[in-house]
Amino acid sequence: MAKKKRTKKKVSARKKPSSTRRSSAKKTDGGGKVGAGYSRVIADKKPKDVVFEVVVRPDTGKSAFDLDALPSVSSLSDYVPAADKCVEVSRKLQRHGISVEQVGRFSISASCPTSHFEKFFGTRVSKQTLPKSANLPKDYAMYAPGKGDPWSLPKVDNLDLLIDRAYIQHEPVFFANERPIPPHWPDKFRLRVPVDVAQILRASSVHRLGIDGEGVKVAMPDTGFYHHPFFKEQGYNFLAVTAPDASDHTSDDHGHGTGECANLLATAPGINFIGVKMGFNPTLGFKTAVELRPDIMTNSWGYSVDHPGTSMPNWLKPLYLAVLDAVSRGIVVCFSAGNGHFGFPGSMPEVLSIGGVVVDKDLNYSATTYTSGFESTWFPGRRVPDFSGLCGVPPTADYIVLPVQRGAVLDKEDGWGAFSGTSAASPMVAGVCALLKQADPSLTGDDIRNLLKYTARDITVGTNAHGEHATVGPDLATGFGLVDAARAINAVL
Amino acid sequence: MPNKTTSTIAFDVLLRGETDDMDVATANLDKLRPPPEAIEKCFRWFAAKGVTCFRTDFGLGCEATVELFQSLFDVKLKQIGAEQPHYQIDGELHISKEIADLISQVTLVRPPTFFG
């Protein structure tokens, strides 16, 4: 799935490659008529398509590429071709199989298959050697005609007289600490946010109906919420605050909170998100979130304490009361069930308890041996979980590529990590709750629980960490199954 | 998550509500809420002793050094746990008579597990 998205992006993404590599006619690098530039490639493989800028020759006889040319605001008109000339060139390019994306004052943004580009300009596109001192990402590659490669303007329809030069454009390097787009690591199958998560949970089709969680406030207490470029790129409403006993809301040295909230925003990109950075006391972090009066809370943490033969210790009573208080205020509270843990507060009957389902590259759905599913000892009759989000498999649940602060504990490479226990599943389900809340603000927590239960995709294959088997109907392996946003929304519209 | 030195501990002080003797649920939760004046009195008492306090609906969230906690409650703390070290109360807490009637329980906070 991730691969599919990347291919699509190359052709139509807003950010098309940019950068430069001039080559010129007659194998020279200064006086030629066409150059080559930009195309970001992840693997060592020539890109299928290239995007490029075609600079139209101005009528003044001047060229911005002349060695003595010094374009400035006052002399800019010297380099502007007649408007009808740009249109003429565009039409001719289209006639010769080149897609015109935009006609500007100076140049035309165009694209075509790489092989066509090579034929049209009589050149060869190859991977260029980049200086080590450029400090580029490991997987950054630039494909363009090389310095010694042939190059000529097409001698058809007078295009060689109308075009000044043409250069392939390359993907820019973002001068942030982290890349804004999840990387594709080829060693194994992984999901990427936001598209893969939204599609598998069938939230994408709900977004297309105009339901994306807008107006719904969701709070999440966790390790911190770093302002990763990914969040800005996606345009999320993202706010981070600290609990009274925490400091520096801008940092997340661990990475857990920053990464997991991307699952929430994948399923409900329009929500008002508030991340609460916990300090020393998680109960205080939770209560801080409650005070913000959210509609929904998601919690990817807990204690492995609801074991057979035990009862609730006093030290958990404050947290217990805080969770009950949140529910009594009408907040929909989601908790991860745990990764083989006997998770509390995820075992409380008042919360939505979230387990995990894994989906492989062939779209086979199954329970995963990474996640919890058990009968609560502390709350008789309580079966954990209620339903599930997406989750990885042992040993590390390295499944969903998530943004983290560079250098954080969970940073795998370039400000991205892959960690996906039930910590990932709870925010996903919370996102679906937000979609339902937007569709019908009068829904209570119990209403939402019932809607999600009876519209979930039943999982009938696999076993969880406690040895519980997935069967037809609800079970301890995945609860009622994988949450299905589209079916849940259809039930209320 | 802990961002304090290991000698700083967090603890919760639950205050008495209308009744403490019941099974708690969202429907009867209000009976557990202490009167605001009780919260204020305890807040000022702990703050005066050097404890960092935060008011909550059911009591106080507090932070103090191990030494201060031990002297306030005349009790010893022992450190346990290898992966997630935390403190445990060794013996019985003694709460000052000035606020003892208002307090239901004092408990140490433990670090949670992140289900990543």
Q: Are residues A130 and A216 in the same domain?
A: no
* CB pair distance less than 8 Å for B109 and A304: no
CA distance B98 to chain A (A): 22
Kindly list the domain boundaries of chain B, sorted by start residue: 8-108
* CB pair distance less than 8 Å for A283 and B59: no
CA-closest candidate to residue A52, choices A118, A111, A122: A111
Tens digits of residue pLDDT in A296-320: 999 999 999 999 999 999 899 999 9
Query: Considering its fold, how many domains does chain A have in total?
Result: 2
Cα Rg for chain A, rounded, in angstroms? Answer: 27
What residues of chain B, 34 to 73, have a C-beta less than 8 Å from chain A?
52, 54, 56-59, 61, 63
CA angle, corner A41, sides to A35 and A45, nearest 5?
A: 95
CA distance B1 to chain A (A): 6
List the single residue in B57, B63, B114 with the smallest CB-CB distance to A301.
B114
Instruction: Tell me what pLDDT residue A69 has.
Output: 84
Instruction: Tell me what pLDDT residue A168 has.
Output: 92
Instruction: Tell me what pLDDT residue A151 has.
Output: 93
Q: How many Cβ atoms sit within 10 Å of the Cβ of residue A69?
A: 12
Please name every residue paired with A400 in a beta bridge, in sequence order, or none if there are none.
A191
Q: Which residues of A touch B3 (CB under 8 A)?
A: 246-247, 279-280
- What ipTM describes this predicted complex? 0.74
Does B108 reach chain A within 8 Å, measured CB to CB?
yes
Tens digits of residue pLDDT in B51-102: 999 998 899 999 999 999 999 999 999 988 777 778 999 999 999 999 999 9
Three-state secondary-structure class, residue A416 = strand
Distance CA A97, CA A117 (A): 10
Distance CA A26, CA A45 (A): 27
Would you say residue A361 lies in a domain? yes
Would you say residue A118 lies in a domain? yes
Q: Are residues A93 and A226 in the same domain?
A: no
Cβ proximity of A139 and A183 under 8 Å: yes
Would you say residue A319 lies in a domain? yes
Residue B24, Cβ density class (10 Å: 0-12 exposed, 13-18 middle, ≥19 buried): middle
Q: Are residues A156 and A197 in the same domain?
A: no
Distance CA A198, CA A209 (A): 14
Distance CA A320, CA A235 (A): 35
Does B25 reach chain A within 8 Å, measured CB to CB?
yes
Distance CA A297, CA A302 (A): 14
Instruction: Tell me what pLDDT residue B23 has.
Output: 81
Domain limits for position A442: 191-490
Distance CA A96, CA A209 (A): 39
CA distance A321 to chain B (A): 8
User: What are the backbone dihedrals phi and psi of residue A155, each rounded to the nearest 5 degrees, phi first?
Assistant: -90, 60
Q: Are residues A284 and A379 in the same domain?
A: yes
Three-state secondary-structure class, residue A235 = coil
Does B89 reach chain A within 8 Å, measured CB to CB?
no
* CB pair distance less than 8 Å for A325 and B58: yes
Does B2 reach chain A within 8 Å, measured CB to CB?
yes
The identity of residue A270, as a single letter, is G
Judged against a pLDDT cut of 70, whether residue B19 lies above it is answered with yes
Would you say residue A431 lies in a domain? yes
Q: Are residues A215 and A259 in the same domain?
A: yes
Would you say residue A383 lies in a domain? yes
Would you say residue A180 lies in a domain? no
| Residues 6+ away with beta carbon under 8 Å from A73 | none
Q: How far from chain centre, in Å, is Cα B92?
A: 14
* CB pair distance less than 8 Å for A350 and B24: no
Q: Are residues A144 and A246 in the same domain?
A: no
* CB pair distance less than 8 Å for A280 and B10: yes
CA distance A216 to chain B (A): 23
CA distance B106 to chain A (A): 8
CA distance A366 to chain B (A): 19
Does A338 reach chain B within 8 Å, measured CB to CB?
yes
Q: If you average pLDDT over every residue of chain B, what do you get?
A: 89
Q: Which residues of A touch B19 (CB under 8 A)?
A: none
What residues of chain A, 379 to 398, have a C-beta less than 8 Å from chain B?
397
Q: Are residues A197 and A82 in the same domain?
A: no
CA-closest candidate to residue A454, choices A434, A481, A430: A481
* CATH number assigned to the domain comprising residue A394: 3.40.50.200
Q: Which residues of B touch A247 (CB under 8 A)?
A: 3
CA-closest candidate to residue A343, choices A306, A318, A394, A371: A306
pLDDT < 50 positions in chain A: 1-43, 176
* CB pair distance less than 8 Å for B1 and A339: no
CA-closest candidate to residue A169, choices A31, A27, A40, A30: A40
Would you say residue A102 lies in a domain? yes
Would you say residue A8 lies in a domain? no
Cβ proximity of A236 and A269 under 8 Å: yes
Tokens linked to A109: 């943004």
* CB pair distance less than 8 Å for A280 and B24: no
Cα Rg for chain B, rounded, in angstroms? Answer: 15
Taking CA–CA distances from A409, the nearest residue in chain B reads B1
Does B112 reach chain A within 8 Å, measured CB to CB?
yes
Placement of tokens 């909550």 in the chain:
B56
Q: Are residues A152 and A200 in the same domain?
A: no
Taking CA–CA distances from B4, the nearest residue in chain A reads A280
Residue A80, Cβ density class (10 Å: 0-12 exposed, 13-18 middle, ≥19 buried): middle
Q: Which residues of A touch B113 (CB under 8 A)?
A: 301-304, 338, 341
Q: Are residues A52 and A138 in the same domain?
A: yes
Q: Are residues A268 and A400 in the same domain?
A: yes
